[in-house]
Amino acid sequence: MQRMGTPSETLYLIKKHDFTIQKRYGQNFLIDENVLRMIVDAAEISEADHVIEIGPGLGTMTGLLCERAAQVTAVEIDRELIPILKETLVGIPNVEIINEDILKLDLNRILEDSAAKYKVVANLPYYITTPIILKLLEEKYPIESITVMIQKEVAERMQAGPGTRDYGALSLAVQYYSRPVIVTTVSQNCFYPRPKVDSTVIRLEIEKEGSVAVKDERFMFRLIRASFNQRRKTLVNGLTHGIPELTREQIEEALRAMELPLTVRGEALTLAEFAALSDLLHK
Q: Does 184 contact ligand SAM by CB under 6 A?
A: no
Q: Does 25 contact ligand SAM by CB under 6 A?
A: yes
Shortest distance in whole angstroms from residue 217 CB to ligand SAM: 26
Identified binder of ligand SAM from the candidate list 103, 213, 258, 272, rule CB under 6 A: 103
b/e per residue, 81-108, with b = 16+ CB within 10 A?
Answer: beebbeebbeeeeebebbeeebeebebe
Nearest residue (beta carbon) to ligand SAM: 55
Q: Does 128 contact ligand SAM by CB under 6 A?
A: yes
Shortest distance in whole angstroms from residue 74 CB to ligand SAM: 9
Question: In sequence order, which ranges of the chain are alpha helices (DSSP H)?
Answer: 7-16, 33-42, 60-68, 82-88, 129-138, 152-159, 169-177, 217-229, 235-242, 248-257, 271-281
**DSSP 3-state assignment of 268?**
helix
Contact stretch for ligand SAM (CB under 6 A) within 19-27, 208-216, 246-254, 259-267: 19-27
Amino acid at 217: E
Q: Does 101 contact ligand SAM by CB under 6 A?
A: yes
Residues 175, 95: Cα–Cα separation, whole Å:
32
Residues 142, 237: Cα–Cα separation, whole Å:
38
Q: Does 65 contact ligand SAM by CB under 6 A?
A: no
Q: Does 133 contact ligand SAM by CB under 6 A?
A: no
Shortest distance in whole angstroms from residue 277 CB to ligand SAM: 35
Would residue 163 be called left, alpha or beta, if left means φ above 0 and alpha means ψ between -120 and 50 degrees? Answer: left
Which run of H or E residues covers position 49?
A: strand 49-54
Q: Does 28 contact ligand SAM by CB under 6 A?
A: yes
Q: Does 54 contact ligand SAM by CB under 6 A?
A: yes
User: Applying CB under 6 A, which residues contact ligand SAM?
Assistant: 25-30, 54-57, 60-61, 75-78, 81, 101-103, 123, 125, 128
